[in-house]
Structure 1
Amino acid sequence: MTVSRGRTLVRALVAFALVAAPVAAAVPAEAAPLQSGGVINFGCATSGKMHCLGKAIRSPKGAGPLVTSTPVGYGPAEIQAAYNLGGLHSGGRTVAIVDAMDAPTAEADLAKFRAARGLSACTTANGCFKKVNQNGAASPLPAGDYGWAEEISLDLDAVSATCPDCHILLVEASSADTDPLMTAVDTAAATPGVVAISNSYGGTEDSTILAADAHLNHPGIAVTASSGDSGYGVSWPASSPYVTAVGGTTLKKSTSTPRGWAETTWNGSGSGCSALEAKPAWQHDTGCAKRTVADVSAVADPATGLGVYDTYNSCGSSAFCDFLLSLGLAQGADGWVQVGGTSLSSPVIASVYALAGNAVTSGSYPYAHTGSLNDVTSGSNGSCGGTYLCTAGTGYDGPTGLGTPNGTGGF
């Protein structure tokens, strides 16, 4: 390309950005989710073994996220209504979020989300929010990462939407490797007040996971893990017998059900039979001799996802920056993004555990209280010969486990 042609292209991009970059018209605070444009992965740093499990609605303009200036997607009202959680309180119990890398704008973005959704402030100053490194110290924090920051915004906003009075502890591991993340889990478990720990990441099973399992074994604390976003197949730590493995659903309002909502299997939800992890005593399905994933589930389909607020990006805050983000030529986000993945379902279930307030051990509690769950009976996440490991049906199945919350009785 010649210099003159390059300059012409830049001028054209700038001109187009000035016209088109105000990304969205005003959207009501409790808007219906966007269901077009496809989805994209968050783009979390992949230098470590683990990858985050979040996805966002893609912009129709390019390969970046669809960013809006006002709330979009489901919010607290929908999450609480769908899972019969309205009016419940945790009494200030703490949900810990474990992620890799730093989100420098995490607290400010959380404040924007909660204010826009009519929730009370959750800040460092009032004792509701705390951010620490993997060793529990306020500094030094890891390097920032635009993809992991979007994951962190999703996790914090999901806790806020599900359990508005929960306190939140964000523990940031120094990288996406197993050892730093497991150190962060241990730090979260040792923090007074923590009753649930959410892990919205996963990696392939290998010979190291059995030794790493010890870091997930915290009796009395609910440890949740996303089952995966690539359909049928197993990832760790969801396959650990010490966690509640959380699958994903597509959640839609419905006038034809007494509940007012309908759920089917999200086709991206991970599931299957572990190759390495022993079957826990509380799991009794007969098609898998080892640990089966998942245990329970919650909304994960980005097309019926949560609207979250994130402003950490590589280009600043301007119409042109928003345009670059929409094209995928800049990283991060600059406003409201509709998101999903089992990165959403894991913190939702961790927050339900916090609302329930029971001291739980591993993922056993829901198996003894199936009457307090919404059974998800349709949909598939892949090919497994039509068995329950990838196909939803009455009772237990791999993609959705025992079902989704109907109040807190199953947790």
Structure 2
Amino acid sequence: MRTTPTRRRRLGTTFAATAALAFAGFGAAAHADAAAPSSARTTWTATPCAIPKHKGELACDSFRVTGGLTAFQKQRAARTGVTPKAADAATPSGYGPSDLRSAYGLTSAASAKGAGETIAIVDAYDDPNAAADLAQYRSYYGLPACTTSNGCFKKVGQTGSTTSLPSADSGWAEEESLDLDMASAICPNCSILLVEAKSATMANLGTAVNEAATLGAKYISNSYGGSESSSDTSYDSSYFNHPGVAITVSAGDGGYGAEYPAASKYVTAVGGTALSTSSTTTRGWTETVWKTSSTEGTGSGCSAYDAKPTWQTDTGCSRRTVSDVAAVADPATGVSVYDSYGVTAGWYTFGGTSASSPIIAGVYALAGTPSSGSYPAKFPYTAAGTSALNDVTSGNNGTCATSYLCTARSGYDGPTGWGTPQGTSAFTG
């Protein structure tokens, strides 16, 4: 079993991907992209935090679109007859809050629920512009203000201090903007706690997870990972065993293969999909496993170290299987993000399972506070949970001996788990 899906990042190499948009759902009728140029292609590159700054650090799981037309842009071009510029920083170019809520059956829940709930975002290093960029995103999309002054937004270091923050890093700032915006998109009435670890080591990020739980967050999103190790079981007990708290973790962007902490038995491992509109489905959207190449796509697989949780019953892996659920992650069908630190201030389109983790954390928040002593990673595995998800049945993220670990099928599979949200029912106890 391959245990180093993020090897391309951990060796310090950069990565750029180019993909034609040929996903299910594009083609016919009202939301087709016939008006867009057939030669249009979307290009993207791994964000700087996808390459560890120092030995022993983990990497974020995000990509930033650098050119071409995203799926959203092509669909907008078909509707309006206006083809946007490939990288127009003045306006959003990816999926926004209403798109994501529509795709995942959350429109009603997002308007009525979430008040009093806190989503924590755990990342490394400081984003000095986090509050301002979050305000810009929320203002543009008409979301309720979430600021330090009104008590909705709070930024702390890994010890809980609001003044003793880590050093700033422009790469991780992009990641933080992505995470904050996705949490806002799904749960606009939620409060947001940003906990910044002083570096991207597991010890510091894990300390930040513990601090988020100490400060009362019941939903904690983690958009980073790295190769598994024999220390992972000790990390489980030290950092991720928080009953009554929904902890979501990106499954990784290196294609087939498990990474940690997604492989922790205490977390909800979130895989990635390509999301596009469809005129042939009742839902109005369709999804397939995100895969761009043999080295880029959603992570999945069998852990080499972590024990299988009692609620996971697939037979092809004797240990923990990644993933549990999924959400959009393909950069070619990416999400809109506002960022200004270390880049030209403006709108960007992002992908990677860094997007899917905070999306799922937001869904858990809309579903309501987990019961004391519960492990929310179990919720999608109940009969009520599995029936309330969009089953993703096409695509793969690589080649594997046990096919469902890397290939979508009806029911449970590795790349997308039990599926993507269809409302909040699968995320309640």
Q: What CA distance in whole angstroms lies between the structure 1 residues aligned with 2:151 and 2:264?
A: 32
Amino acid at match of 1:367: Y
Task: Please state if 1:224 is matched with 2:248.
Answer: yes
Calculate percent identity across the aligned residue pairs. Answer: 55
In structure 2, what is the equivalent of residue 288 of structure 1? 317
Of 169-178 and 45-54, deviating more is: 45-54
Amino acid at match of 2:225: G
In structure 2, what is the equivalent of residue 392 of structure 1? 408
Q: What CA distance in whole angstroms lies between the structure 1 residues aligned with 2:190 and 2:265?
A: 26
Can you list the C-alpha shifts for 1:156-213, whole angstroms capped at 9, x where unaligned?
Answer: 0000111111100000000000111000000000113x11000000010012211111
Task: Please state if 1:403 is matched with 2:411.
Answer: no
Q: 1:380 aligns with which of 393, 396, 401?
A: 396
In structure 1, what is the equivalent of residue 341 of structure 2? 312
Can you list the C-alpha shifts for 1:273-304, whole angstroms capped at 9, x where unaligned?
Answer: 00111111000001001100000000111111
Q: Displacement, 1:49?
A: 2.1
Can you list the C-alpha shifts for 1:363-393, whole angstroms capped at 9, x where unaligned?
Answer: 1110001011110000000111460000001
What is the SS of the residue equivalent to 2:249?
strand
In structure 2, what is the equivalent of residue 188 of structure 1? 212
Query: What is the correspondence of 1:108-123 to structure 2 with a 5 Å cutoff?
Result: 108-123=132-147
8 Å Cα contact 1:298/1:348 also seen in 2: yes
In structure 2, what is the equivalent of residue 198 of structure 1? 221
Task: Please state if 1:363 is matched with 2:386.
Answer: no
Runs of 4+ aligned structure 1 residues displaced above 4 Å come to 32-35
Task: Please state if 1:258 is matched with 2:314.
Answer: no
Q: Displacement, 1:233?
A: 0.7
Of 358-367 and 135-144, deviating more is: 358-367
Give the total of aligned pairs. Answer: 357
Q: What CA distance in whole angstroms lies between the structure 1 residues aligned with 2:95 and 2:314?
A: 34
Q: Which runs of 5+ in 2 are unaligned?
A: 1-32, 69-85, 292-296
8 Å Cα contact 1:271/1:294 also seen in 2: yes
8 Å Cα contact 2:42/2:332 also seen in 1: no
Q: What CA distance in whole angstroms lies between the structure 2 residues aligned with 1:251 and 1:333?
A: 27
8 Å Cα contact 1:249/1:299 also seen in 2: yes
What is the SS of the residue equivalent to 2:377?
coil
In structure 2, what is the equivalent of residue 130 of structure 1? 154
Q: Which runs of 5+ in 1 are unaligned?
A: 1-31, 314-331
Can you list the C-alpha shifts for 1:292-328, whole angstroms capped at 9, x where unaligned?
Answer: 0000000111111110000001xxxxxxxxxxxxxxx
Can you list the C-alpha shifts for 1:121-156, whole angstroms capped at 9, x where unaligned?
Answer: 100000110000001110211111111000000000
Amino acid at match of 1:56: R
Cα distance change, pair 153–305 in 1 and its aligned pair in 2 (3 A): same
Q: 1:342 aligns with which of 353, 359, 363?
A: 353
In structure 2, what is the equivalent of residue 272 of structure 1? 301
Task: Please state if 1:235 is matched with 2:246.
Answer: no
In structure 2, what is the equivalent of residue 158 of structure 1? 182
8 Å Cα contact 2:115/2:191 also seen in 1: no
What is the SS of the residue equivalent to 1:38?
strand
8 Å Cα contact 2:330/2:351 also seen in 1: yes
TM-score for the superposition, normalised by structure 2: 0.81
8 Å Cα contact 2:265/2:320 also seen in 1: yes
Q: What CA distance in whole angstroms lies between the structure 2 residues aligned with 1:358 and 1:202?
A: 26
8 Å Cα contact 1:299/1:344 also seen in 2: yes
8 Å Cα contact 2:302/2:322 also seen in 1: yes
Query: What is the correspondence of 1:319-338 to structure 2 with a 5 Å cutoff?
Result: 332-338=343-349
Can you list the C-alpha shifts for 1:3-60, whole angstroms capped at 9, x where unaligned?
Answer: xxxxxxxxxxxxxxxxxxxxxxxxxxxxx99973321111115214210001111236
Amino acid at match of 1:87: S
Q: What CA distance in whole angstroms lies between the structure 1 residues aligned with 2:303 and 2:108?
A: 38
What is the SS of the residue equivalent to 2:406?
coil
RMSD: 1.7
What is the SS of the residue equivalent to 2:387?
helix
What is the SS of the residue equivalent to 1:157?
helix
Q: What CA distance in whole angstroms lies between the structure 2 residues aligned with 1:408 and 1:206?
A: 34
Structure showing greater Rg: 1
In structure 1, what is the equivalent of residue 13 of structure 2? none
TM-score for the superposition, normalised by structure 1: 0.84
